[in-house]
């Protein structure tokens, strides 16, 4: 037998105290109030660039990266212009006010932020006013500056839009609301919700008006959440909550396969991008414009939904899952493009197919609360009827052109005439 290790009473007590003081108590301090997370590794592995800012760091997660330092001087420039407009020579009152909110702001981040109080408060003030002044310049035309490169080059604006809707690149929303209240402009549009939607609407891949009627309360977390709420209004009215058990949840076939069962596809302008219907053998889907922004927008909205409480419906995740089921190949994507359901700005059908097939990887889906469970059920019920497949095969193989229909009608008329002649001949003979 090996040597037994004996521990003295003092050793045991010291270990117990260490566990209690250093481990258990620190664990008790862990908070689940965080609303700004880092994207988990499995999701990031699918396309890490989709979650990385290109030009500006907002908040602590990407702060200090070398490739983002060029925008830091513009943040300070915006702050200087704000002070000039307000006839102020110091940021002291803003610092004091935000410092009182430091604890709540730190809790908004799921990870412990390794910044001192001064560094953290400075970041909140400088980044916060950069966002607010950027929005005001764009929407309210406040203090227009002909030398501002952000408003001289459209490409820079687009890259900033991209960065401000990233899940990891956020400030707590209450900080923005507070700073905006301290520097209020005499315009009814000078509120964070309207300014945010006006500026970020360029990232929306569907050509419909955004919903701004939702209430923004103290629970609202960041700009990406506002975008999520505005992009999909009012969801419960469009997609009734049809909870199903895991056993009842069935996937559907791809577009080309569904065509073999007589299902047709039709573009329709719904109340929201999610407003997908299946009626009388027709799949009605709102049009989607797919461009260079689309994948990143979807990925960050999905990342946001992956950290929602379990009782929330994952609308974007469910929509992407639905489209992923329809598109298994470039031919499926091409068919949806042909019907005007997808407006493809990426170039070819392969790019569309690849994008949707990858978007659903390593994503959690709640099968008991899937938004399209009833649509899937109705589609599978339709496909379960052999008559539908037989009719579809008949139309596809024998009535797929006007000439085949004309030939069939001619043959039918000829057959009818022949039958009529035969009947008259029989009657004449019998007489």
Q: Facing residues of 109 across strands?
A: 36
The predicted model scores a pTM of: 0.82
243 and 196, same domain (yes or no): no
Count other C-beta atoms under 10 Å from residue 404's C-beta. Answer: 13
99 and 239, same domain (yes or no): no
Q: Per residue of the chain (431 residues), give pLDDT as tens.
A: 455 555 566 655 565 555 555 555 444 444 446 789 999 999 999 999 999 999 999 999 999 999 999 999 999 999 999 999 999 999 999 999 999 999 999 999 999 999 999 999 999 999 999 999 999 999 999 877 878 889 888 889 999 999 999 999 999 999 999 999 999 999 989 999 999 988 988 777 664 556 665 666 555 689 999 888 887 655 555 565 555 544 456 889 999 999 888 899 999 887 788 889 999 999 999 999 999 889 999 999 999 999 988 778 898 999 999 999 999 999 999 999 999 999 999 989 999 999 999 998 999 988 888 989 999 999 999 888 755 454 445 455 544 555 454 554 555 666 676 777 777 677 666 65
Residue 96 in domain: yes
Count of domains forming the chain: 3
Choosing from 186, 210, 231, the residue where a domain stops is: 231
Choosing from 204, 231, 258, the residue where a domain stops is: 231
CA 285 to CA 277: how far, in whole Å?
Answer: 7
183 and 97, same domain (yes or no): yes
- pLDDT at residue 17, as a whole number: 58
73 and 161, same domain (yes or no): yes
Residue 170 in domain: yes
Residue 32 in domain: no
Contacts of 39 (CB under 8 A, 6+ apart): 51, 167, 168, 303
247 and 381, same domain (yes or no): yes
- The pairing of strands 277-279 and 264-267 is unpaired
Residue 25 in domain: no
48 and 141, same domain (yes or no): yes
Residue 384 in domain: yes
53 and 202, same domain (yes or no): yes
- The pairing of strands 277-279 and 282-285 is antiparallel
304 and 358, same domain (yes or no): yes
Residue 33 in domain: no
Contacts of 157 (CB under 8 A, 6+ apart): 138, 150, 151, 202
Residue 39 per-residue DSSP state: P
Contacts of 144 (CB under 8 A, 6+ apart): 137, 151
241 and 223, same domain (yes or no): no
Choosing from 162, 196, 231, the residue where a domain stops is: 231
Residue 11 in domain: no
77 and 105, same domain (yes or no): yes
416 and 273, same domain (yes or no): no
The parent domain of residue 297 ranges over: 235-390
Report in angstroms the alpha-carbon separations of 292 from 15, 31, 298, 350, 352.
Answer: 56, 37, 11, 14, 11
Residue 4 in domain: no
- pLDDT at residue 394, as a whole number: 44
168 and 289, same domain (yes or no): no
């Amino acid at each position: 037998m090996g040597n037994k290790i004996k521990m003295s009473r003092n050793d045991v007590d010291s270990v117990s105290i260490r566990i209690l003081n250093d481990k258990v108590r620190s664990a008790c301090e862990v908070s689940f109030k965080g609303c700004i997370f880092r994207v988990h590794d499995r999701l990031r592995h699918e396309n890490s660039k989709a979650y990385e800012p290109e030009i500006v760091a907002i908040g602590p997660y990407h702060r200090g990266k070398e490739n983002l330092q060029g925008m830091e001087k513009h943040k300070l420039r915006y702050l200087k212009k704000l002070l000039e407009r307000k006839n102020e020579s110091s940021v002291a009152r803003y610092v004091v006010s935000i410092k009182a909110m430091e604890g709540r702001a730190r809790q908004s981040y799921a990870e412990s932020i390794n910044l001192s109080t001064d560094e953290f408060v400075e970041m909140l003030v400088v980044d916060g006013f950069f966002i607010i002044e950027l929005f005001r310049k764009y929407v309210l035309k406040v203090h227009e500056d002909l030398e501002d490169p952000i408003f001289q080059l459209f490409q820079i604006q687009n890259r900033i839009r991209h960065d401000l809707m990233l899940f990891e690149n956020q400030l707590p929303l209450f900080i923005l609301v507070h700073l905006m209240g301290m520097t209020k402009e005499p315009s009814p549009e000078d509120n964070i919700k309207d300014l945010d939607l006006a500026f970020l609407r360029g990232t929306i891949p569907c050509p419909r008006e955004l919903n701004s009627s939702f209430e923004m309360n103290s629970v609202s977390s960041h700009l990406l959440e506002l975008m999520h709420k505005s992009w999909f209004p009012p969801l419960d009215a469009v997609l009734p909550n049809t909870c199903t058990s895991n056993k009842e949840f069935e996937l559907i076939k791809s577009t080309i396969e569904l065509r073999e069962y007589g299902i047709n596809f039709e573009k329709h302008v719904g109340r929201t991008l999610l407003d997908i219907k299946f009626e009388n053998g027709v799949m009605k889907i709102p049009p989607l414009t797919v461009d260079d922004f689309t994948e990143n927008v979807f990925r960050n909205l999905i990342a946001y939904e992956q950290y929602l409480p379990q009782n929330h419906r994952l609308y974007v995740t469910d929509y992407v899952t639905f489209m992923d089921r329809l598109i298994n190949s470039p031919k499926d994507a091409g068919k949806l493009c042909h019907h005007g359901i997808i407006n493809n700005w990426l170039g070819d059908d392969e790019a569309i197919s690849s994008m949707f097939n990858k978007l659903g990887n390593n994503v959690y889906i709640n099968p008991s609360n899937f938004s399209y469970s009833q649509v899937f059920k109705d589609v599978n019920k339709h496909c379960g009827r052999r008559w539908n497949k037989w009719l579809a095969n008949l139309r596809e193989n024998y009535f797929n052109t006007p000439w085949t229909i004309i030939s069939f009608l001619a043959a039918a008329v000829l057959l009818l005439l022949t039958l009529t002649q035969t009947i008259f001949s029989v009657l004449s003979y019998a007489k």
